[in-house]
């Protein structure tokens, strides 16, 4: 988003107020912010089969890749699955589905 904003400003557009996109980060759990970054970098689109569930094997591979301790993996997996559910809910709302 910041790259897009910088490009628009360089092309002469006035700066937009992006605080609504970042203000919530001040209050968010740092672990959740980290997992949000992991999710957006590696797990978007990693569905299990033909459904909307997040692929657990993909989660485990990513947790290996980013070096999450074994003792923290159950909680990290739970948070990533919850994040994925929230993302899917927002996608459905934008499509106009209940």
**pLDDT for res 59:** 93
**pLDDT for res 1:** 56
**pLDDT for res 70:** 93
With contact defined as beta carbons under 8 Å apart, do 58 and 43 qualify? yes
pLDDT in tens for each of the 98 residues of the chain? 567 777 888 899 888 776 766 778 888 888 888 998 898 888 887 776 667 888 889 999 999 999 999 999 999 999 999 999 988 888 888 888 65
* pTM assigned to the model: 0.70
What number of residues does the chain have? 98
Residue 35 is inside which H or E element, if any?
helix 30-38
Residues 6+ apart with CB under 8 A from 11: none
């Amino acid at each position: 988003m910041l790259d897009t904003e910088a490009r628009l400003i360089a092309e002469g557009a006035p700066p937009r107020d992006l605080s609504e996109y970042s203000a919530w980060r001040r209050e968010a759990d740092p672990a959740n912010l980290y997992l949000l970054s992991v999710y957006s970098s590696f797990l978007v689109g990693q569905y299990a089969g033909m459904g909307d569930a997040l692929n657990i094997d993909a989660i485990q591979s990513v947790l290996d890749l980013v070096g999450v301790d074994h003792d923290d993996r159950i909680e990290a997996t739970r948070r990533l699955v919850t994040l994925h559910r929230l993302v899917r809910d927002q996608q459905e709302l934008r499509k106009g589905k209940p």
